[in-house]
Amino acid sequence: MEKLKDGKIEVIPERQKYLLYDAMIAFHIQRGLSIPMGAAEFYRGLEERFVERDRMYFLPNQVSNTMQNEWNWNWKKSRFL
């Protein structure tokens, strides 16, 4: 699901938290429903339920092994800097 460009992950704007929140708001407004939560609560839910990578959010099965390995390596490396 992620896009790679020159071996690096390319940002997919639709997966950034503020645009995900905007989409949730639009979904409810288009259907005449009340907005179920504010931005802070929505963002907390993203952190709890999805995998965050480079300021983008994914389902666990959308994170490829390559992406996961790179993520783990960068995390381990950053612990020793």
**Interval 14-55: pLDDT, tens:** 788 889 999 999 999 999 999 999 999 999 999 998 888 888
Q: Where are the domains of the chain?
A: 3-79
Cβ proximity of 1 and 62 under 8 Å = yes
**Interval 54-69: pLDDT, tens:** 888 888 887 765 555 5
**What pLDDT, on the 0 to 100 scale, is given for residue 55?**
83
pTM here is 0.64
pLDDT band at 5 (very low <50, low <70, confident <90, very high): low
The residue whose two tokens read 């790679």 is: 4
pLDDT band at 1 (very low <50, low <70, confident <90, very high): very low
75 CA to centre of own chain: 17
Higher-confidence residue of 80 and 39: namely 39
